[in-house]
Amino acid sequence: MVSERSLEVLRVIVQDYVASREPVGSKSIVERHGFGVSAATIRNDMAALEEEELIAAPHTSSGRVPTDKGYRLFVDRMSELRPLSTAQRQAIELFLGQSVDVDDVLARTVRLLAQLTQQVALVQYPSVSRARVRHIEFVPLAPQRVLCVLIADSGVVEQGIAEPDGELSEDAFAELRARVNAEAAGLRLSDAASVLRSLAERMPAEGWTQARREVVASLCQVIVDQIEGTRQERLIMAGAANLVRTEHDFSGSVTPVLEAIEEQVELLKLFGEMAKDQHGVSVRIGRENASAPLSEASVVASGYAGRGTDVARLGVLGPTRMDYSNNMAAVRAVARYLSRLLGE
């Protein structure tokens, strides 16, 4: 069991090492942090921390660096997060407030988060299992070419092109639009998909030949594909260059980490397993990540949700030597603003 002063020594070792990437020695702690005790006493505290495997000595230096266990204790003992500056908060509101749709706001979110943290930023697309159809539109663009648009109450707008073998008249399109929206509007997306799959066969016998029904089936299938596509789990990323710039924080190549991010499977699984702490964020550090490529990385994440969507995750990934307080505060602030924006 280490003393409270030893834990304070751990705190300054983490902070100094994160800031400088230089192993921290007892002399620099005494000179910079004014503990009011001798360097020998600080060395005794450091010895206690090392015995608990909270810090370790790189073979090239007499100083010490935090271990994964040390970073974890540092994060767990963080009583409060350093608040974002007024300028940072205003930047979040201004930049995200200019978004035109869900895709745009998520693309802006990862760029903003990467800039705020200087880490790789990741945003999981929200699941829209609870979203409902607001409107479906079919817009003829050319003979045998139709734009199919799905608008959900969650703000999701999906578009796709259908190229049916036949054509519909203007009156037939008007009748189809009216029928589709009469049957599907207000339904959950999954229920709407079921309705649309059988719509062609339920069109009135009068005026709707088999050829016309095949056109309807082709158009409805595009909407069904859009609905099914919104339920796929996927991530968008920004700031890969930030990870490359910190490559020296990894013992080997950073390439496996980048590959794990691109493949997404392990990260999506990790996001699903992460539980919030007292600050409303989740942190996985180094070997706490089961995936081997991420065993030298840390992930900071928080949840967000909009109207009609399930909770999804956003966060940052970087080396274990990261500014946890700043990154946790940024992730939490952006997640809260994104939830508010998507809920409007």
CATH number for the domain spanning 267: value is: 3.30.450.40
Q: How confident is the model at residue 82 (pLDDT cuts 50, 70, 90)?
A: confident
Q: How far apart are CA 74 and CA 283, in angstroms?
A: 11
Is residue 81 assigned to a domain? no
Do 291 and 245 fall into the same domain? yes
Is residue 23 assigned to a domain? yes
Do 237 and 122 fall into the same domain? yes
Across 37-46, 168-177, 285-294, least confident range? 285-294
Above 90 in pLDDT, residue 312?
no
- Residue 182 has what pLDDT? 95
Provide the edge-to-edge strand list for the sheet that holds 282-285: 235-238, 120-124, 312-319, 297-304, 282-285
Task: Report pTM.
Answer: 0.74
Beta bridge partners of 160: 148
Q: Residue 223: name the closest of 260, 192, 269 by CA.
A: 192
Q: How wide is the angle at C-alpha 110 spanned by C-alphas 104 and 111, nearest 5°?
A: 85
Is residue 189 assigned to a domain? yes
Average pLDDT over residues 129-149: 89
Q: How confident is the model at residue 229 (pLDDT cuts 50, 70, 90)?
A: confident
Q: Residue 126: name the closest of 97, 106, 99 by CA.
A: 106
How confident is the model over 143-201, as pLDDT tens digits? Answer: 889 999 999 887 778 899 999 998 899 999 999 999 999 999 999 888 999 999 999 99
Do 218 and 178 fall into the same domain? yes
Q: How confident is the model at residue 60 (pLDDT cuts 50, 70, 90)?
A: low
Question: Residue 54's domain spans which residues?
Answer: 4-76
Above 80 in pLDDT, residue 77?
yes
Cβ-based neighbours of 40, under 8 Å, separated by 6 or more: 26
CA 147 to chain CA centroid, Å, is 30
Do 244 and 323 fall into the same domain? yes
Do 182 and 258 fall into the same domain? no
Six-digit token pair at 231?
């339920």
- Residue 54 has what pLDDT? 96
Do 275 and 153 fall into the same domain? no
Six-digit token pair at 131?
């979203």
Is residue 265 assigned to a domain? yes
Beta bridge partners of 219: none
Is residue 50 assigned to a domain? yes
Do 238 and 222 fall into the same domain? no
Do 226 and 259 fall into the same domain? no
Average pLDDT over residues 274-296: 85
Cβ-based neighbours of 223, under 8 Å, separated by 6 or more: 136, 148, 150, 160, 192, 193, 196
Six-digit token pair at 341?
């924006």
Do 190 and 335 fall into the same domain? no
Report the 10 Å Cβ neighbour count for 143: 9
Q: How confident is the model at residue 231 (pLDDT cuts 50, 70, 90)?
A: low
Residue listed under structure tokens 């400088």: 20
Residue 15 identity (one-letter amino acid): Q
Do 102 and 239 fall into the same domain? yes
- Residue 128 has what pLDDT? 62
- Residue 309 has what pLDDT? 64
Across 24-33, 118-127, 224-233, least confident range? 224-233
Report strand pairing: 157-162 vs 145-152. antiparallel
**Alpha-carbon separation of residue 141 from 24, 164, 167, 227 (angstroms):** 66, 12, 11, 22
